[in-house]
Structure formats: C-alpha cells, structure tokens
Amino acid sequence: MDKQIEVKQTALTEGAAFERLVAIMNDLRTQCPWDKKQTIQTLRTLTIEEMYELADAILEEDWKDIKEEVGDVLLHMVFYATIAKEQNRFTITDALNTICEKLIRRHPH
C-alpha cells in the first residue's frame, strides 16, 4: 500500500473515532443525569485521578493500561470542551486548532 494512502486512511480512522467520542459525549450530556450535572469544577479531581492512573501505567510500562488511561484522559478533555461549548466559551475545534498553531509556531523546521 502506498504510504500516503496508508497515512490518509489512518487519519480518517482516527478522525472518525474522535468524532464518535465527541458524539457520545454530546449524547451523555443530554441524556445521562450524572454527566448532565458535571461542571469543570466537579471534573477537576476526577481528571487528576485519571492522570495519576496514566502515570502509574507508564511507570509499569503496561501498554494495555496506558491505552485505557489515554482514552480516559481524552474523554475528560472532550468533556471539558463540551462544557465550554455549552457555555459559548470555545469548541473542541477551537482547542485543536489552538494546539496545532502552537506546535507549528514552536517547531518552524
């Protein structure tokens, strides 16, 4: 398979998976009582716990757990962005574009 095509297919798969996560979070915010009542403040401690779980998995070099914990951390980031969108602060697209621009600016090579 041509390398460019392979990269494109991977990117599409990653994009579709990310869109699926965003869609699930949007559904949870409208349908799940627990998710509906969460705020950036109530999520803060839970996010810190998830980061510690990721750090522990990294120390153990347990790739199965690292994969799971990276997913949990991604969920939290999408959760924050969803709340921000609901409050007309920013969207997940805004956050993604911000980090992309920062990376480009910091890596001019």
Question: In the Cβ-directed half-sphere of 96, how many Cα atoms lie within 13 Å?
Answer: 10
Task: Count other C-beta atoms under 10 Å from residue 95's C-beta.
Answer: 16
Tell me how far apart the alpha carbons of residues 39 and 1 are, in angstroms, rounded to a whole number. 46
User: What are the chain's domains?
Assistant: 3-106 (1.10.287.1080)
Categorize the per-residue pLDDT at 109 as very low, low, confident or very high, splitting at 50, 70 and 90: confident
Task: Name the helix (H) or strand (E) containing 102.
Answer: helix 92-106
Sequence-distant (6+) residues with CB within 8 A of 56 are 65
| CA distance to 10, 18, 27, 38, 65, per residue, from 7 (Å) | 5, 16, 30, 37, 26
pLDDT digits (tens, 9 = 90+) for 2-32: 556 565 666 668 999 999 999 999 999 999 9
Residue found by looking up tokens 């697209």 in the block: 93
pLDDT digits (tens, 9 = 90+) for 50-86: 999 999 999 999 999 999 999 999 999 999 999 999 9
User: Is residue 107 exposed (0-12), middle (13-18) or buried (19+ Cβ within 10 Å)?
Assistant: exposed
pTM for the model = 0.86
